[in-house]
Amino acid sequence: MTDPNVLFTTLVKPALPIFLLVGGLYGVRFVYRRFKSSFKGSLGETLVTQGTFRLLDAALYRGLSDLYVPRPDGDGLTQVDHVVVSPFGIFVIETKNYTGWIYGAEHQAKWTQTFGSGGKFFFQNPIWQNKLHVRALAQFLKLPESKFRSVIFFMGGSAFKTELPEYVIDTSLTGYITGIEDVLLQPEEVAAANAALDALVARTDKRVAKRELLAGIKRRVGK
């Protein structure tokens, strides 16, 4: 009978690093697939906050991320990816971390993401999504919607295959924001908006807010 210690030393031990590597890769794959949407959302938030926000002139622009704002219809909360408050308007930014080809139209309910392999994924029109965010912020800040600027920012290397509005972009979010120079807000309006958003952030418990957000989605879907 073969000595188990000899068997381990000659066969198992040399292959152990490979087993550990393969096991580790499967573990990473499982975690990524399980929390893929969270990873992509966190990556998008980091790219904007650590990239765009840091490049903006702090004397003119103030950036905030991951805001939970009461819906304009009073039915729970809506989540806003990013907001930039400036004299040139309040930029409301919806980010999409997508690859592949993007097909859509301003008045089309569903847009399409396609891949060279033939894969296809449908997602909600982000322009419509962001209109809700703009209405929610306008109501919360007690400002007309004309003071806001909607921006849809696709990152991740996607390519647009249909004509889209100029505020739907896939490069240089910083350049787009700083390229707008029409003044929409007076200094006192900028200060009031920043103060109101600071107060919102200070009193928001994000764990509670996320539960309320999901509960509202389920409630509306059920209707």
Q: What is the pLDDT of residues 77-113, one digit of tens each?
A: 999 999 999 999 999 999 999 999 999 999 999 999 9
Q: Is the pTM of this model over 0.75?
A: yes
Please check whether residues 131 and 29 belong to one and the same domain: no
Q: String of b and e for 53-69 (b: at least 16 CB within 10 Å)?
A: beebeeeebbbbbbbbb
Asked whether residue 4 carries a pLDDT value surpassing 60, the answer given is: no
Please check whether residues 26 and 41 belong to one and the same domain: no
Per-residue pLDDT at 50? 59
Q: Dihedrals φ, ψ of 166, to 5°?
A: -65, -20
Asked whether residue 150 carries a pLDDT value surpassing 50, the answer given is: yes
Which contiguous run of DSSP H or E holds residue 59? none
Please check whether residues 89 and 156 belong to one and the same domain: yes
Domain hosting 7: range is: 1-34
Please check whether residues 147 and 157 belong to one and the same domain: yes
Which residue carries 């647009």 as its tokens? 160
Please check whether residues 41 and 19 belong to one and the same domain: no
Q: Which residue has the higher pLDDT, 24 or 122?
A: 122
Please check whether residues 113 and 62 belong to one and the same domain: yes
Query: pLDDT class for 20, splitting at 50, 70, 90?
Result: low
Map residue 86 onto helix, strand or coil: strand
Please check whether residues 20 and 44 belong to one and the same domain: no
Tell me what the mean pLDDT of segment 190-199 comes to: 98
Tell me what the mean pLDDT of segment 190-200 comes to: 98
Per-residue pLDDT at 92? 98
Q: String of b and e for 200-215 (b: at least 16 CB within 10 Å)?
A: beeeeeeeebeeebee
**Number of domains present in the structure of the chain:** 2
Asked whether residue 118 carries a pLDDT value surpassing 60, the answer given is: yes
